[in-house]
Amino acid sequence: MLGSAPLTLVSLLRRYGTRVLITWLMLAVEVALLALVPLLLGYTIDALLQQPDMTALLDVSLLLAALVAVGVSRRAYDTRAYGTMRIHLSMALVERAGHKSVSTLSAQVGMGRELVDFLEEQTPQVISSIIQVAVSLIILFGFGFALGLAGVLAVTAMMLVYTLFHLRFFNLNAGLNAIAEEQVRVLQSGNSSVIANLFLRRRESEVKLSDADAIMYGLVYLLMFALILANLWSASLLPAVTVGTIFAIISYSWELVGAGVELPAALQQWSRLSEIQKRINR
């Protein structure tokens, strides 16, 4: 169990570090294998164009088979490991409830589960994105300095965009969580106008959060699409460029686009969890 430590992501990692480390190591292997696919496909395309031969597909086939085996194993282990963590965290919240109302406790148990959800779902996205960004930038720099530099500038600009939105996400989630804590109590009152007002407030908070999310994603997409166009142009100027090389360059540029979309989503969830950790430990 979690003892008397504050209920935070850090305390969960300290208590269940071995289980989490196993999932992260399996994830790292999975993402590393996945990151090699575009490069190997590019080499395979060039090999097949020069001399059609089934043996050229062997390396890709082995890589994909290993990728499936690791991915299936990780997902099966994750469900069991994180399920236990959810039970222990929920019980800790109940034991520390004190004089909290049922409405507040019910909402906070749901919020507490989001901490484990983050470790199981968003943290792998962050790890995957970081590995994808690192591998993609290394390979793009290998093809050409301008290609890698464009990637670095795009990722830096993306992180700046998130930084500008972090405080707004935190405040909007604070309002949404406060409404969740009131919900059971308000429903029990049976007052239709008060209940309707609660739902209206929740809708307004969700709309504001969605609008902020949409604007952030719009900015990120613009940055990433600019990267694709810039690298497509730069790739066409490389000396003696092959079809396989262009495929690999665009694939790794697109990997940065994927990371650019997933990383802000995980960071946005971190904004929400920052508020939740503060709320459930007060």
* Chain segment 118-147, per-residue pLDDT in tens: 888 778 777 777 887 888 888 889 888 888
Mean pLDDT (the chain, rounded): 80
For residue 85, pLDDT over 80 is answered with yes
The answer to whether the beta carbons of residues 102 and 184 sit under 8 Å apart is yes
For residue 212, pLDDT over 80 is answered with yes
Q: How much is the average pLDDT of 52-61?
A: 73
Task: Spell out the residues 6+ positions from residue 80 whose beta carbon is closer than 8 angstroms to its own.
Answer: none
Residue 233: other Cβ atoms inside 10 A: 11
Q: Give the lowest-confidence range in 51-55, 71-75, 190-194, 277-281.
A: 51-55
Share of the chain above pLDDT 70, in %: 93
For residue 1, pLDDT over 60 is answered with no
pLDDT band, very low/low/confident/very high, at 100 (cuts 50, 70, 90):
confident
Q: Where are the domains of the chain?
A: 9-280
pLDDT at position 87: 82
The answer to whether the beta carbons of residues 154 and 224 sit under 8 Å apart is yes
pLDDT at position 3: 61
Cα 259 to Cα 35, 51, 82: the distances in Å are: 12, 35, 24
Task: Spell out the residues 6+ positions from residue 160 whose beta carbon is closer than 8 angstroms to its own.
Answer: none
* 24/240: higher pLDDT: 24
For residue 256, pLDDT over 60 is answered with yes
pLDDT at position 53: 67
For residue 195, pLDDT over 70 is answered with yes
CATH for 9-280 (3.40.1180.10, 1.20.1730.10, 1.10.3730.10, 1.20.1560.10): 1.20.1560.10
pLDDT at position 264: 66
pLDDT band, very low/low/confident/very high, at 56 (cuts 50, 70, 90):
low
Token pair, residue 171, equals 């405040």
